[in-house]
């Protein structure tokens, strides 16, 4: 009998973000955003383990301390070679299938992560993701691929950009890897909305969502977020003029 692959969420997080330093440990509704995100990811039934992949820079010591406090594994590696960092985390935690997430997404909906995992496991893909103009708000991104595929990609490229952006080489080479693009559920289409944490303007929006929804319903989903924002247009549009960084 074959042993099912071990599926692990790897959350990339660091303190020296350019536009909003220390953002993953800023707080709303009584907890750091990274803690909120780990709580949300832990509700994905397909995921066997969660690991924070942070850097070996001393500035990230508080991230490791948070992981220790809440009982989440932490792997520390290169700040610039994020591909190597994620691969190292997967090897250390014996993860066969990587669910790649970033600390920019504290509001990510567990249902959406499940959809991407299921798209990967139900097909013959080497890589499944909802990052290709899926129709979701920014901040709901999940990518799923086997550790062996990431190791293969790492062996094929020395480009710094490929190593900074973990799965870039994979999805830019569909002639080598089978790519599965995952779209949004029809009732969750909201491509105009920013729910990613990258700037002070984003911080206001995301903090407002957590403060409004978390106390009465810690398991709120994207449906609840979109309803709240529809009823609070001044909050919803507060970060609409932000230009998203691109690869």
Instruction: Assess if residue 243 is contained within a domain.
Output: no
Interval 92-97 mean pLDDT = 98
Predicted local confidence at residue 242, as pLDDT: 78
Strand locations in the chain (E): 7-12, 27-28, 31-32, 49-55, 73-77, 97-102, 127-129, 143-146, 179-181
- pLDDT, the chain, mean: 96
Q: How far apart are CA 142 and CA 150, in angstroms?
A: 15
pTM of the full predicted structure?
Answer: 0.96
Instruction: Assess if residue 182 is contained within a domain.
Output: yes
Instruction: Assess if residue 92 is contained within a domain.
Output: yes
Helical packing angle, 82-92 and 147-156, nearest 10°: 140
**What's the structural domain count of the chain?**
1
Q: Return the H-helix or E-strand segment holding 199.
A: none
At residue 240 the predicted structure's pLDDT band, cuts being 50, 70 and 90, is: confident
Question: Tell me, what CATH number does 46's domain have?
Answer: 3.90.550.10
Whether the per-residue pLDDT at 228 is higher than 70: the answer is yes
For residue 10, which of 42, 53, 41 has the smallest C-alpha distance?
Answer: 53
Q: List the domain range (segments joined by +) for residue 31.
A: 7-191
Whether the per-residue pLDDT at 167 is higher than 90: the answer is yes
Instruction: Assess if residue 170 is contained within a domain.
Output: yes
Whether the per-residue pLDDT at 146 is higher than 70: the answer is yes
Predicted local confidence at residue 98, as pLDDT: 98
Q: How far apart are CA 228 and CA 231, in angstroms?
A: 5
Whether the per-residue pLDDT at 153 is higher than 90: the answer is yes
Helical packing angle, 61-70 and 33-41, nearest 10°: 40
Whether the per-residue pLDDT at 243 is higher than 80: the answer is no
């Amino acid at each position: 009998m074959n042993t099912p692959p071990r599926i692990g969420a790897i959350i990339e997080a660091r303190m020296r973000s350019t536009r909003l330093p220390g953002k993953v440990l800023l707080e709303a509704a009584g907890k750091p955003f990274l803690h909120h995100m780990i709580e949300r990811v832990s509700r994905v039934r397909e995921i066997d383990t969660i690991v924070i992949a942070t850097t070996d820079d001393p500035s990230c010591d508080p991230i490791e301390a948070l992981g220790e406090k809440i009982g989440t594994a932490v792997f520390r590696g290169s700040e610039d070679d994020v591909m190597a960092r994620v691969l190292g985390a997967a090897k250390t935690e014996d993860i066969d299938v990587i669910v790649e997430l970033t600390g920019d997404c504290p509001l990510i909906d567990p249902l959406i992560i499940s959809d991407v995992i299921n798209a990967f496991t139900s097909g013959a893909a080497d890589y499944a993701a909802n990052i290709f103009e899926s129709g979701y708000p920014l901040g709901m991104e999940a990518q799923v691929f086997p550790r062996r595929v990431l190791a293969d990609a790492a062996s094929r490229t020395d480009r710094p950009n490929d190593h900074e952006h973990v799965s870039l080489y994979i999805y830019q080479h569909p002639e080598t890897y089978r790519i599965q693009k995952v779209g949004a559920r029809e009732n969750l289409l909201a491509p105009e909305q920013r729910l990613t944490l990258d700037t002070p303007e984003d911080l206001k929006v995301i903090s407002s969502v957590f403060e409004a929804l978390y106390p009465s319903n810690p398991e709120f989903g994207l449906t609840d977020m979109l309803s709240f924002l529809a009823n609070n247009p001044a909050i919803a549009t507060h970060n609409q003029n932000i230009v998203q960084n691109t690869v």
